[in-house]
Structure formats: C-alpha cells, structure tokens
Structure 1
Amino acid sequence: MNINLPDYFDAYARDYSLYKGGASCYEDGCLYRGLIMLHEATGEERWFRHLKRLADAQVRPNGELAGYTVDEYNIDNVLPGRAFLYLAGRTGDDRYRKAADLLAKQLETHPRIEAGPHWHKLRYPHQVWLDGLYMALPFKAEYAAAARQSRLAEQALGEMLSALRLTEDKDANLYRHGYDESRQQKWADPATGLSPAHWGRSLGWLAMALVDLIDALPPGASTNQLSARLLSLLLRLQELQLPDGRWLQVIDQPELAGNYAESSATAMLAYAYMKAARLPGLSPALADTGQKALDGLMTNAMIKNADGRTVLGNICCVAGLGGFDGNYRDGTPEYYLTEVLHDDDIKGVAPLMMAYSEFVSAGDAMAGQDRITA
C-alpha cells in the first residue's frame, strides 16, 4: 500500500481529540513532540498551527494547565512541558513559559527514591519505570538550557545514569520495565526490585529518552557514558529485530505464545536508531536499522479500517505495573499480551511522526523511499 505519510499525519492531527477530555497529559505531549519534529524537519507551518491550536486549548492565559494539579506528582504530566518551551521560543508568549515553569516546579518537590530518580507517581511510590525517564528527563535538560540552570542538566544526567544502573538486566543486556526500591510490590523481585519482563514499548521510551537527553546535554565524560549505554542497547536490540523490521511486545521472547509485533515500540525504536545515527560518537550505520523498522511499519502495520481510513494498527493501548482500574498488573510476559490493542493510538502515531521526521532530515538518499511518500 502506497501511503502519503504527511497527508496521514495532517488528517490525524486535524481530527485529534485531546486524549483525556482536555486535561493536560502525556498522550497529548506525545503528539506535540511529533508535530514539533515535523515542523522542524519540513519547515511547513501546518504542523505548527496544529500544535498551537491543540496546546492553546490546555494552557490558560496565566500559564495554568487544564486538569493539572501538582500534588498528584505524576511524572507523565511533565512531558508536555517540552512543547511549551518550544512554543515560548517561537511566539514569545509568556503563558507558555509559565506553563513550563509550573512543570519544572513539580520536579523540585516530586518525591525521589534514595538513589535520586523521581518516583513514577505518588500512587506508585518508591518506583522508577522506564516510561518516566522519557517523560521527565529530556524536559529537565531542555528547561535547564532555556532557564540557564546548568545544575538541572547535571541532575537529569545523574538521574538517568542511576536509573540505568537500577533497571539493568545484565544477563539479557536489556532493561526491565520497572524497579521498586521498597520491594513491596508483588511484581518486584525481592532481591533486585525489578519487574519480570522486557516490555517492548518501555525499551522504546528508554531509547527515545536517551537520544533526546544526549542531544540536549553539553558534551563531556558523563554524557559519553550515556552514549555508550545507548549504543550497547541499540546493538542488543538489533539482535531482536524481526525479519520484517518490527519488534515484539515482549521483545526478547519470540517463542511466547500469543506474542506479536507491536507498532508503538517499533516506531519509537525507528526514531531512536535514526536519531542516534547523527549523534556525536555514534555510527551513521544505525540509521539502516531505523529505516528497516520504518519500512516494516509501512508494509505490515498501516492498514485500512472498516471505514476505509488508513490507520496504524497493532498498538498496545496501555500497560503498566501494579494496581490499575481494579486489576493488578503483575508484569509477567503473559500479562503484557492481555492488554487491548487500539488502532491509531497516539503512543504509536506520534513516534511514527518522529521517525518520519528523522527520515526527512536525513534526506532522500535513505533506502525505502518508494514506500514513504514525502
């Protein structure tokens, strides 16, 4: 199927309804990241108009955010702050900067585990999830640059390195979805505090967090440590990539009954590989793996729905750890296969926007142009 991705993205943004009824949330923040990257890569104002229209529905004139309360201490809520920094820089409108300031203030008092990283949420105490590293740390580094607060960049770097040490599964050369400092959760290994499985999207969040954080940090020995960690992860994930270019929901268990190629993890990793290829000290050849993943999504996951509309299929709607909606998510490999799939969920579409933007930025010399219409 020959697909014009810009037209698909334009229609998606045009018809998008704010994910949680208007309350500022990370899902909308994901879309904002995708639109920002499309704007930067193409220079087309339509992407900026979509971004501003949607963000303006959530940012009050005084910089307050719809549906936001700081004392929820939800790390997910921080992600939209990156868009507010972008909008502040592009428009000079102070309300966006005030909104970013509000989220930065949350991080000043957001609870932390003893080793430094923030709790995932107040309702998930003493826990670090890979998802949360993407939600908070690139924002912290970008805010540090905008506010000229270098200590925040140093803080973000230290927190990432600490989180990597805590969540690392050295035997698998991968990272587990969650870590419980208290060892109180049923999903937590009593010795390590780690959750049981390697969830594809959590590794996608981590890879995106690493490439974006490295890009936002000044060069130095500690940043080089992050780059080394990133390269090791990307080389390991190459071994797990399916022949069609995608990655599995439970990323390292192809023999697991019911396991499937999941689109959000694949899109996130496509973006991470292509962006890593242009970071200092990393190999341009990494882009080939990202290109293969993007091609794999185009060929195998872009489908027509019952209404004849092109959609991105095979997206896990949500997955997590511990109590949620009356259920206890035990983090086993089998658990991740029980979660519902939603076509066109923003957690798949936004990373696809990011991956396509990296493709555009790299130029037409990359393979697969016959399936990716500019």
Structure 2
Amino acid sequence: MYRRLFLSLLAVLSFQFLIARQKDLASFPKGSTPQEVGKRLAYHFVDGRHELYAASYIHYAEVCSWNGALDYALKTKDAKLIKLLQDKFEPFFSREKALLPPMNHVDYNMFGSLALKLYQITKDERYRKMGLEYADSQWTLPQNAKQEEKAWADKGFSWQTRLWIDDMYMITVVQNEAYKVTGDRKYLDRAAREMVMYLDELQRPNGLFYHAPDVPYYWGRGDGWMAVGMPDLLRVMPKDHKDRARIMEGYLKMMKSLKEYQRPNGMWNQLIDQPDFWAETSGTAMFTYAFIAGVKEGWLDAVEYAPAARKAWLAMVPYIDERNNVTEVCIGTGKKNDKQYYHDRPRNAGDLHGQAPYLWCAAALIGK
C-alpha cells in the first residue's frame, strides 16, 4: 500500500515539475517578454530601408525578417502591423518591381516564401502567383543550366542544390509555404527529399554540420539554418510521411549536441565548439528557436530543454540596443578553411541576419 502511495505521489510531483518546466517558456520578466521584444523589432523592421544585394535585389535576410515580423503580427493579432507589412510589399508590384530577385539562385528564390505567406493572410491572388513561380522555378531546369545543375535535376533534386547547409532553410522554406498554400504534396515531398539528402551527406557524427565539407568548422549561423529548417518542415509533415523519421532523427541528434555546447550564460559561440570564441547572436537565436519549437511540439523533453531555451532567450534580450538593433551579429560569411577567419569576422548591429531569428523566437514563444 505504501509503495502505491509513494508511486502516486511521485507521479503527481513529476507532473507538477513538468508543468513548471513548460511555464519556463510562458512567463518572462518585464522587458523580456516575447510580446515586448517582438513589437520592438517588428516595428523597427517596418521603418527600415530595404537590404539589397550589390546587384540591387532584395536580400534573403530581409525576407527572413519580414517573415518573422508577419509571424509575430499573426500571433499577437496585430492588424496594424500586418497592414504595414503588406503595404511595405505593395510597391514590388509597381515602382519597386526591379528589386525582385531573379529566379536563378537558391538565396534569391526563397523570396517566394514571403509572397506565399502574405497570400495565406490576404488571399490576394497576386501573392500566390508570384510565390508559386519562385517555388516552381527551383525545380525547373533553365536552358543555360550548368552540367552540375543538370546532374542534380536528373536525380530529382533542385537544380539549385549546392550542398551548403544554408540551403536547408532557403529551399525548404519556399517549398513549405507552397505546400501550405496549395496542399499539393509535391512541394512537401521535394523539401523532405532534399533535406534527407543533405542530412545523409553533411551531418557529422556529433549531430552538427561543418560550414562546408572542406571547411571543418562548426560555424554558428551556418548550423542555424539546419536547426531552423528541420522543425519548420517537421511541423507540416504528416506522421506517416516516408521521410519524417529520418528528418526527426537528424533534428534530435543536432539538438542533443547543441545543448551540450550551450555556454553557461545561455549563448552559443561563433564557432560552436570553441569556448574561447565570442558569443554570437544570430546563431544563438536560431538554436533557441529550434529548442522552443521542439518543446512546444513535444519532440524535446520539456524538463531538459525548456530551461535551456529560457536561459538562451533571457541571455539574448540584453544584446538589443536602444535603437532596437540586435548587436554582435556576424556579417555575411563565406566558407574559408581558416579558424582565425571566423574569429575575426566583423559584427554588425541591426544586421537582418540577427533581427530575423529574434523575431522567429518571439513568435514561437507566444501561444502554441
């Protein structure tokens, strides 16, 4: 009898402990709530200028921030913000049409995800048409395709495949939004098959990813694209999808490793496994988002990962300065087989590579 009572009491205490851990992601001090932080960053984005490539196209980092601001606006039911974000896009149909990225590169094509997200909000067919053109052209081989691009297409993958880990956000985000808009499984299947191939080719035994196969460094934001791409894809995949188990395996393996490398202060470093490197905000925010998503979806143990996500969020917030710019953001970084190169990378305040994942985290922390 005493044993049964003990086990019953233990079960109650365990349940209460689990509830307490889930609350780790539901209650934050004033000034650090996702509602406050998200509002600061989203309205700051609305007021900002376009971020362009040298060739005068909208930069993918702006698209990422725009998507994040929309996600936050939807979560908070901020109709004013949604309208402002929609109005910011409207000139692309007229006087700013020249800023639209061409449909010939993985970083350019992900622009379509923004148009498709706006379609889901407004049901304006102009967004749907534009977004699907970007999504479909990732799998439509151009006439001037290079031999390597043809080889990828012949295998059923996107001709824009590069085996850079960035692609597992850039490709999957637009295909994912196309699936949400159309319900056509071809978009989901494309993204999933591509993700499985990248996992098989690039994930290391410890669950992390080198910046490139010939550059053996675990660069934070590089790994961050994988950390975000996997849960975003898993969220929409039916449980019986043939590729779901493989992607979940890769995701859980990465999350376990990331938790081990989280610094005592809650951050992750510019090179994840190098304790003498500086804390970098964009990669930290991406990993935090992946933890939040996993806890909220029930994929990650809340007892273990909710406190880690909370610690990271509270560590991230002080990096936002008085102008609502995220600081300590590594600038755009190409691969280089040189450890010092990563250590010496310049850091920008307000770089949209950092603003975007902060917005993703704010939106993910609000509600389900």
Provide TM-score, normalisation by structure 1.
0.79
1:113-152 equivalent positions in 2, closer than 5 A: 114=152, 117-118=157-158, 127-152=162-187
CA distance in 1, matches of 2:187, 2:230: 16
**Paired residue total:** 323
1:267 to partner: Cα distance? 0.9
Note if 1:311 corresponds to 2:344.
no
1:1-374 equivalent positions in 2, closer than 5 A: 2=31, 4-20=36-52, 23-60=57-94, 66-70=99-103, 73-109=104-140, 111=149, 114=152, 117-118=157-158, 127-170=162-205, 172-179=206-213, 188=214, 195-220=215-240, 221-255=242-276, 259-279=277-297, 281-285=299-303, 286-299=305-318, 301-304=319-322, 309-321=323-335, 330-361=336-367
Residue identity over aligned pairs, in percent, reads: 23
CA distance in 2, matches of 1:141, 1:10: 23
- Unpaired runs of 5+ residues, structure 2, are 1-29, 142-148
CA contact (8 A) 1:196 1:333 kept: no
1:10 to partner: Cα distance? 4.2
1:298 to partner: Cα distance? 1.6
Indicate the structure with greater strand content: 1
CA contact (8 A) 1:176 1:197 kept: yes
CA distance in 2, matches of 1:272, 1:231: 10
CA distance in 1, matches of 2:126, 2:111: 14
Aligned to 1:370: none
CA contact (8 A) 1:246 1:262 kept: yes
1:222 to partner: Cα distance? 2.1
Measured against aligned partners, the alpha-carbon deviations of 1:218-246 in whole angstroms (never above 9, x if no partner) come to 22242122112111111110010011111
Q: Which has the higher contact order (CA 8 A, sep 6+)?
A: 2
1:205 to partner: Cα distance? 1.0
Provide TM-score, normalisation by structure 2.
0.80
Q: Structure 1 residues 49-58 or 208-217, which shifts more? A: 49-58
1:91 to partner: Cα distance? 1.7
Q: CA RMSD, aligned part only? A: 2.5
CA distance in 2, matches of 1:60, 1:149: 30
C-alpha change, 1:65 and 1:48, in structure 2 (3 Å) is farther
CA distance in 2, matches of 1:319, 1:76: 14
Of the two, which has the highest radius of gyration? 2
CA contact (8 A) 2:157 2:190 kept: no
User: Could you say what secondary structure the match of 2:321 adopts?
Assistant: strand
C-alpha change, 1:226 and 1:85, in structure 2 (3 Å) is same
1:53 to partner: Cα distance? 2.1
C-alpha change, 1:166 and 1:60, in structure 2 (3 Å) is farther
1:149 to partner: Cα distance? 2.4
CA distance in 2, matches of 1:229, 1:163: 10
C-alpha change, 1:80 and 1:173, in structure 2 (3 Å) is same
CA contact (8 A) 1:318 1:340 kept: no
1:139 to partner: Cα distance? 1.9
CA distance in 1, matches of 2:167, 2:94: 25
CA contact (8 A) 1:32 1:83 kept: yes
C-alpha change, 1:303 and 1:89, in structure 2 (3 Å) is closer
User: Could you say what secondary structure the match of 1:134 adopts?
Assistant: helix
